[in-house]
Amino acid sequence: MTDATALPGQPRGAVASGPATARAVNVLAPNPSAMTLDGTNTWIVAEPDSALAVVIDPGPLDDAHLRAVIDAVERGGRRVGLTLLTHGHPDHAEGAGRFAELTGTRVRALDAALRLGDEGLGAGDVITTGGLELRVVPTPGHTADSLSFHLPADRAVLTGDTILGRGTTVVAHPDGRLGDYLDSLRRLRSLTVDDGVHTVLPGHGPVLEDAQGAVEFYLAHRAHRLAQVETAVEAGHRTPSEVVAAVYADVDRSLWPAAELSVRAQLEYLAEHGLI
């Protein structure tokens, strides 16, 4: 399971290519599935009067999609100045190398293996391409290399797969760890409470205009699932697949392999905290 993302839990909403905030435009990739919802959101972010745009998550290796992203940038009278990755899952990152080739840009990511060029990306970094201000926020948990990007001018945050436009995300054990994920959600909550962020621009699914509500929903959902897993273990369910069958009975079976990754992450967390 590498394209890990969505599990049910939130109302359905519409998603489409087009402007989302003053500085962010979505180009929806043609890779819809149970795990990627409507497809991957490739974000183009730019200052209104700038000739340079930043592209976040070029998406799958699909030439028509990559060219559609470039067309959208050029229709705005700009060219691509920099490519960023929220994390290395192929539905976000697989097309990055080809996109960099088509645009002559560098790719910056937390994971050195995904970079093109010598610049990394990490906590405290601020992207300033074309006068834009994007602050790098480490949000490990879905994967170890997950990052979010705070766009203060639009009071928005680009969350990759850390928060989705609907449903909940997978903690992709063993790379993803639940303790990290909960810390990341709290970090995002502080962006909404202390920094006035109110819009989530997710890696899949529709834009969320109540960022704090979304974070609170995710934290409550994780606490609820964790309690269910703990109860299932106390009831005698021992293996991850037994726990999945007990806890994720309300989820379509096609998503159980993804749910099992989250269950493994939850069992690890409970064991580390001496709770089972």
Q: Provide the binding-site residues for Zn ion, judged by CB under 5 A.
A: 89, 161
At 195, give phi and psi (nearest 5°): -115, 5
* Closer Cβ to Zn ion, 3 or 125, answer by number: 3
Residue 107: its H or E element: strand 107-108
* Closer Cβ to Zn ion, 6 or 244, answer by number: 6
Residue 92 Cβ vs Zn ion, minimum distance, rounded to whole Å: 6
Q: From the CB of residue 252, how many other CB atoms can be counted at a distance below 10 Å?
A: 11
* Closer Cβ to Zn ion, 202 or 240, answer by number: 202
* Closer Cβ to Zn ion, 94 or 125, answer by number: 94
* Closer Cβ to Zn ion, 87 or 237, answer by number: 87
Residue 162 Cβ vs Zn ion, minimum distance, rounded to whole Å: 9
Residue 2 Cβ vs Zn ion, minimum distance, rounded to whole Å: 8
Residue 161 Cβ vs Zn ion, minimum distance, rounded to whole Å: 4
Q: How far apart are CA 53 and CA 103, in angstroms?
A: 11
Which DSSP symbol is given to 132? -
Pairing status of strand 134-138 against strand 156-160: unpaired
Closest residue by Cα to residue 109 from 91, 128, 96 = 96
Query: Residue 24 is encoded by which pair of tokens?
Result: 């962010």
Angle subtended by helix axes 178-194 and 211-234, to nearest 10: 150
Closest residue by Cα to residue 132 from 8, 215, 23, 247 = 23
| Residue of minimal Cβ distance to Zn ion | 89
Query: Residue 124 is encoded by which pair of tokens?
Result: 């405290």
Residue 4 Cβ vs Zn ion, minimum distance, rounded to whole Å: 5
Residue 49 Cβ vs Zn ion, minimum distance, rounded to whole Å: 33
* Closer Cβ to Zn ion, 66 or 258, answer by number: 258
CA distances from 144 to 55, 139, 173 (A): 21, 8, 10
